[in-house]
């Protein structure tokens, strides 16, 4: 991918009882990376466009009670290059055929498929983590290993990369993972500028907690 | 304040073009602190209740395009103990009499008044920072000093405390400031547990960037 590659569409899944910082951390990170990319690369358009997607566009309530209206529904959204699967009640979502059917279709053609916190359970439910290294929120590591025994669950990491899939640890680790995704897609300088604008101390080494 | 003190109501201001992580970082931090407080202190109720407030409850669009419906309007919200003023287009808001009139009334009785990023401009517009140390996003420090010359603008800090007012640096620094506020109100152990749940490396020393 080069600095002048076409913009990538980032779809952030939202649902009732989604953990708000799980999805807003990546949302903000990719948005700011898009803004910074026009300055850094002299692009006419941001390198990322970002939107939320849910089963319907009805107003939903996050775990902490924020009221959010999704931009798009499962049946009416632009093509997706990068998908972000946040946690919260992701285990509940992982039992819902409508969600799994949508996700199976989307991940078939993404450049990157990412999860934050318990969002990894959605990937586990599709079998996408079988035989692969993956991580989740510290409090859910044992549950991930018990629910999906074929997954190589990693502890003490901020994120884990397995080909086109990146899973991250809990809540704020989604920001570190997103910065890494920006770096992988458009280079480290864009990720560093994005972290500087966010005034965020990026964990560039995923093994450091 | 003791572990069994009455719950504190945290009002998070939102408005069109608010920076999404500026307000969701503190929102999530106080929410999680509330959850953790019941376990840590054996309280029957969370130590914090958190809500968003705006001029009206109409759906609004954050700077990055998220669609959010505020819980309460300026004319119909519960009493406020802690107010959070996020950045984004806060300089635009600081020229709006409806916002300043509301804020003047609220800060008269808050336990803590806090800002994130350019939210400090709202406090500056009310003269509340005159002769006080304060900070904002790195890119707005010069502008804050030029717009409100009586403010003692501090650089290279995550947050600055001045009595009942705490201003923080840009975007993610709002999480550090909120953790400090939790610590000040209910003790450091609650703040540490909250940071652990968020998997966030809290900058406990405000001077470290």
Six-digit token string for A116: 């934050």
Q: What is the pLDDT of residue B168?
A: 97
Cβ distance of B24 and A66 shorter than 8 Å: yes
pLDDT-derived band at B1 (thresholds 50, 70, 90) equals low
What value of ipTM does the predicted structure carry? 0.95
Question: If 0-12 CB within 10 Å is exposed, 13-18 middle and 19+ buried, where does residue B41 land?
Answer: middle
pLDDT tens digits for range A114-169: 999 999 999 999 999 999 999 999 999 999 999 999 999 999 999 999 999 999 99
Which of B23, B24, B197 should we substitute to test contact with A (largest number of A Cβ atoms within 10 Å)? B24
Residue A209 has pLDDT above 90, yes or no: no
Q: Which residues, 6+ apart, have CB-to-CB distance to A97 below 8 Å?
A: none
Number of H helices, E strands in chain B: 7, 11
Q: Does residue A5 or residue A81 have the better pLDDT?
A: A81
The backbone region for A136, taken as left when phi is positive above 0, alpha when psi lies in -120 to 50, beta otherwise, is beta
- Please indicate whether, in this complex, the C-beta atoms of A24 and B66 are within 8 angstroms of each other: yes
Quick check: A1 pLDDT over 70?
A: no
Contact at 8 Å (CB) between A179 and B205?
no
How do residues B124-177 score in pLDDT, each as one tens digit?
A: 999 999 999 999 999 999 999 999 999 999 999 999 999 999 999 999 999 999
pLDDT value at B209 more than 70: no
Beta-carbon separation of A199 and B52 below 8 A: no
Predicted pLDDT of residue A2? 65
- pLDDT at position B29: 98
Do residues B25 and B178 make contact, with C-beta atoms less than 8 angstroms apart?
Answer: yes
> Quick one: DSSP state of residue A205?
S
pLDDT level of residue A204 (50, 70, 90 thresholds): confident
- The pLDDT value given to residue B205: 85
What's the CA gap between A192 and B172, in Å, rounded? Answer: 15
pLDDT tens digits, A172-197:
999 999 999 999 999 999 999 999 99
pLDDT tens digits, residue range B27-41? 999 999 999 999 999
Q: Is the pLDDT of residue B107 over 70?
A: yes
Confidence of residue A5 (pLDDT cuts 50, 70, 90): confident
Shortest CB distance from B25 goes to which of A21, A50, A71? Answer: A21
CA distance A71 to B66: 8
Judge: A69–B71 Cβ closer than 8 Å, yes or no.
no
- What integer pLDDT is reported at residue A4 of this predicted model? 76
Q: Which of B11, B117, B179, B182 is catalytic?
A: B117
> Chain A residues with CB inside 8 Å of B31's CB?
20, 63-65
Residue closest to B25 by CA, chosen among B168, B187, B133, B149: B168
- Using CA coordinates, name the residue in chain B closest to A168: B199
Catalytic residue flag (residue B117): yes
**Degrees (nearest 5) of the Cα angle A30, A83, A176?**
45
Q: Tell me: the pLDDT tens digits for B46-101?
A: 999 999 999 999 999 999 999 999 999 999 999 999 999 999 998 899 999 999 99
Is residue B17 helix, strand or coil?
Answer: coil
- Closest by CA to A169, choosing from A115, A110, A102, is A115
pLDDT band at B2 (very low <50, low <70, confident <90, very high): low
pLDDT of residue A159: 97
User: Which among A185, A158, A188 is positioned nearest to A172, based on CA atoms?
Assistant: A158
Q: Is A64 within 8 Å of B27 when comparing Cβ atoms? A: yes
Do the Cβ atoms of B168 and B17 come closer than 8 Å? no
* Measured distance CA(B71)–CA(B57) in Å, rounded: 6
Q: Which residues of A touch B (CB under 8 A)?
A: 19-21, 24-25, 27-28, 31-32, 50-52, 59, 63-71, 137-139, 169-173, 175, 196-201, 203, 209
Q: What are the Cα distances from residue A125, in Å, to A66, A94, A118, A129, A180?
A: 27, 6, 12, 9, 25
Cα A170 to chain centroid distance, Å, stands at 12
Q: Does the beta-carbon distance from B199 to A171 stay under 8 Å?
A: yes
Give me the helices (H) in A53-167, please. 90-93, 97-107, 120-125, 141-147
Tell me the mean pLDDT in the region A41-66.
97
Instruction: Write the DSSP assignment of A158-174 as a string of letters.
Output: SEEEETTEEEE-STTHH
């Amino acid at each position: 991918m080069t600095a002048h590659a076409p913009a990538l569409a980032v779809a952030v899944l939202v649902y009732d009882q989604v953990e708000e910082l799980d999805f807003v951390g990546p949302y903000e990170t990719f948005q700011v990376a898009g803004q910074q990319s026009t300055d850094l690369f002299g692009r006419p358009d941001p390198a990322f466009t970002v939107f939320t997607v849910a089963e319907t566009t009805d107003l939903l309530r996050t775990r902490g009670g924020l009221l959010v209206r999704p931009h798009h529904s499962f049946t009416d959204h632009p093509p997706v290059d990068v998908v972000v699967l946040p946690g919260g009640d992701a285990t509940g979502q992982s039992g819902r055929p409508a969600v799994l059917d949508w996700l199976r279709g989307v991940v078939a053609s993404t450049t990157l498929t990412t999860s934050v916190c318990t969002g990894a359970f959605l990937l586990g439910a599709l079998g996408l983590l079988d035989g692969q290294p993956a991580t989740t929120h510290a409090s859910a590591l044992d549950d991930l290993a018990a629910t999906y025994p074929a997954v190589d669950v990693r502890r003490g990491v901020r994120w884990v990369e397995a080909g086109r899939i990146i899973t991250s640890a809990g809540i704020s680790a989604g920001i570190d993972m997103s910065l890494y995704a920006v770096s992988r897609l458009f280079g480290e300088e864009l990720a560093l500028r994005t972290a500087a604008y966010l005034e965020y101390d990026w964990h560039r080494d995923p093994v450091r907690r």
